[in-house]
């Protein structure tokens, strides 16, 4: 990990040709460098804070004009990084950008490493580690909903929610430390019962956040949805209908889909990897049989399975056989072809689905696809849907820190209740507190920080 002493620069907009390219510069040498390379059009115009000034960017020694554009200065500490920052808005041409970066480096700046602007913002105390990681999640979001969840974290929501728990833990530690330190004196300290109550409160808050990760992981990473069932029930038709495109081949012949077909889409702002599978049946055709094996593999890996059934055909032993195989999977039974006369009485549909939810749809007409999508969301997020929770832990690292803290506090609480000496209890409580610090980056090891910021793009 590089230090904070030098001045860094990078293209902050996407590389390639575009209307505008923004080059960002940050560090103590920023303004002296910019003053040498940027000549305002208006004679004597000064680079004033947060005001865009029109002018020419020139080569360091020759004074040759490289481009005309805008320069905006953000003096420390009121900038993204907390350092002096300048942004040059140039014409979006890769040759101009390269020349301007070269000119900046010629004056003493160096090209920033991936994530280095955000790392500086973190090291200068402009944001904590959770917020810095959220910056990357906003940039990498593939749906607006993902971006919104990340944006809530970037505004410090997780850190804010944790603050009361952390304060309570610190208070508890202080009480116990005082009991050790001033054992001989008659200090009015909280009883062990009160302290145990505090710890229980902290633990409850942690458990609530940890529980949200099951949903949060799905929001951040999306989920895999396998469409399975017997041949010809309309799996590929349903796959295409959910994608709104004719991606998978549909025919009236059984055994048309022989290999896995996978495509990305989104449902309610959650990214979904949809998998169309080969129809499940015993076949003597070697290729089809290999396809069926892949179908079982896809079902095992999927987060959710849509078991598609042709409700226009009478129920068969094969239907029951398949249903039995899927008993332990998380699946929704989809009664397809609802546009045709239905052969399954309602009681039979309920009996067949058992504890799994079931939905009637027509992949051909699109009828009730919205009900199916709602059922999928309910399966993943419960009644309230993905937007039901005020706070979701979406990052595995955050969840692991919270779990680590919970583990230490649980041990500390046991020690406290069993009457062990304060020192014993304190070991665990301090370990728990350091997990809070690890989460927000207060006690971050260097290699951890390097690992996190290296996954950013250059210029952020
Ligand atoms: N009437 C009707 N026909 C459908 C529906 N879904 C699929 N089909 C027909 O059922 C046949 C098999 O469809 P396909 O999607 O290839 O089934 P798969 O083998 O399960 O992938 C095709 O002739 C489709 O046109 C539906 O909802 N209603
Ligand atoms: Mg098919």
What digits encode the pLDDT tens for the residues 83-141? 999 999 999 999 999 999 999 999 999 999 999 999 999 999 999 999 999 999 999 89
Check whether 445 has a pLDDT greater than 70: no
Query: Are 317 and 375 within one domain?
Result: yes
Check whether 62 has a pLDDT greater than 90: no
Q: What percent of the chain has pLDDT over 70?
A: 95
Query: Are 308 and 196 within one domain?
Result: no
Query: Are 69 and 187 within one domain?
Result: no
Query: Which structural domain range is residue 271 located in?
Result: 228-381
Atom of ligand 1 nearest to the CA of 239: 15
Domain count, the chain: 3
What pLDDT sits at residue 186?
A: 59
Say if 221 falls within a structural domain: no
Say if 17 falls within a structural domain: yes
Query: Are 49 and 104 within one domain?
Result: yes
> In the listed set 354, 381, 408, which residue is the last one of a domain according to the structure?
381
Say if 446 falls within a structural domain: no
Distance 246 CA to ligand 2 centre (A): 12
Lowest mean pLDDT among 114-123, 184-193, 311-320, 415-424: 184-193
For residue 150, give the CATH number of its domain. Answer: 1.20.120.430
What pLDDT sits at residue 426?
A: 93
> In the listed set 78, 101, 128, which residue is the last one of a domain according to the structure?
128
pLDDT in tens, 350-380: 999 999 999 999 999 999 999 999 999 998 8
What pLDDT sits at residue 338?
A: 94
Query: Are 363 and 404 within one domain?
Result: no
Q: For atom 9 of ligand 1, which residue has the closest CA?
A: 234
Query: Are 22 and 64 within one domain?
Result: yes
What pLDDT sits at residue 300?
A: 87
Q: What are the φ and ψ backbone dihedral angles of 98, each rounded to 5 degrees?
A: -60, -45
For residue 58, give the CATH number of its domain. Answer: 3.30.1360.120
Average pLDDT value for the chain: 89
Say if 245 falls within a structural domain: yes
Say if 152 falls within a structural domain: yes
* CB of 84 closer than 8 Å to CB of 75: yes
Which residue in the block uniquely carries the two structure tokens 């860094």? Answer: 8
Query: Are 243 and 189 within one domain?
Result: no
Query: Are 60 and 25 within one domain?
Result: yes
Say if 448 falls within a structural domain: no
Query: Are 52 and 181 within one domain?
Result: no
Q: Check if 313 has its Cβ closer than 6 Å to any atom of ligand 1.
A: no
Average pLDDT over residues 227-243: 93
Task: Find which of 161-175, 211-225, 403-417 is predicted with most confidence, using mean pLDDT.
Answer: 403-417
Atom of ligand 1 nearest to the CA of 336: 27
The pTM for the full model equals 0.77
Query: Are 324 and 208 within one domain?
Result: no
Query: Are 78 and 40 within one domain?
Result: yes
Check whether 441 has a pLDDT greater than 90: no
Q: For atom 10 of ligand 1, which residue has the closest CA?
A: 234
Query: Are 108 and 246 within one domain?
Result: no
């Amino acid at each position: 990990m590089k230090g904070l002493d030098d001045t860094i620069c990078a293209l902050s907009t996407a590389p390639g040709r575009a209307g505008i390219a923004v080059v960002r510069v940050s560090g103590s040498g920023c303004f002296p460098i910019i003053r040498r390379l940027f000549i305002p059009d208006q004679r004597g115009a000064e680079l004033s804070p947060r005001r865009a000034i029109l002018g020419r960017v020139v080569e360091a020694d020759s004074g040759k004009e490289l481009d005309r554009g805008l320069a905006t200065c953000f003096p420390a500490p009121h900038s993204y990084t907390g350092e002096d920052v300048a942004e040059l808005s140039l014409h979006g041409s890769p040759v101009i950008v390269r020349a301007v970066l070269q000119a900046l480096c010629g004056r003493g700046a160096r090209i920033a490493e991936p994530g280095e602007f955000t790392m500086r913002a973190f090291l200068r105390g402009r944001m904590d580690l959770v917020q810095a990681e959220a910056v990357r999640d906003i940039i990498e979001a593939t749906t607006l909903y993902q971006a919104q969840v990340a944006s809530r974290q970037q505004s410090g929501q997780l850190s804010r929610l944790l603050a009361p728990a952390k304060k309570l833990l610190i208070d508890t530690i202080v009480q116990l430390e005082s009991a050790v330190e001033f054992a001989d004196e008659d200090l009015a300290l909280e009883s062990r019962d009160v302290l145990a109550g505090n710890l229980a409160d902290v633990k409850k808050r942690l458990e609530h956040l940890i529980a949200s990760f099951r949903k949060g992981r799905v929001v951040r990473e999306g989920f895999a949805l396998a469409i399975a069932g017997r041949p010809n029930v309309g799996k590929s038709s349903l796959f295409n209908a959910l994608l709104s495109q004719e991606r998978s081949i549909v025919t009236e012949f059984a055994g048309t889909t022989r290999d896995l077909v996978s495509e990305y889409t989104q449902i309610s702002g959650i990214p979904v990897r949809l998998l169309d599978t080969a129809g499940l049946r015993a076949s003597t055709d070697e290729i089809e049989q290999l396809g069926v094996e892949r179908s079982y593999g896809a079902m095992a890996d999927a987060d959710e399975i849509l078991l598609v059934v042709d409700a226009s055909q009478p129920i068969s032993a094969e239907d029951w056989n398949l249903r039995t195989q899927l008993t332990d999977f998380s699946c929704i039974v989809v009664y397809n072809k609802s546009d045709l006369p239905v052969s399954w009485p309602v009681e039979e549909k309920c009996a067949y689905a058992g504890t799994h939810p079931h939905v009637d749809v027509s992949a051909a007409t699109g009828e009730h696809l919205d009900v199916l999508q709602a059922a999928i969301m309910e399966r993943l997020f419960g009644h309230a849907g993905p937007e039901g929770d005020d706070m979701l832990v979406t990052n595995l690292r955050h969840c692991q820190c919270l779990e680590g803290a919970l583990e230490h506090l649980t041990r500390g609480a046991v020690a406290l209740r069993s009457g062990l000496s304060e020192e014993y209890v304190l070991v665990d409580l301090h370990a728990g507190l350091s997990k809070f610090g690890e989460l927000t980056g207060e006690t971050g090891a260097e290699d951890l920080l390097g690992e996190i910021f290296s996954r950013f793009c250059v210029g952020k």
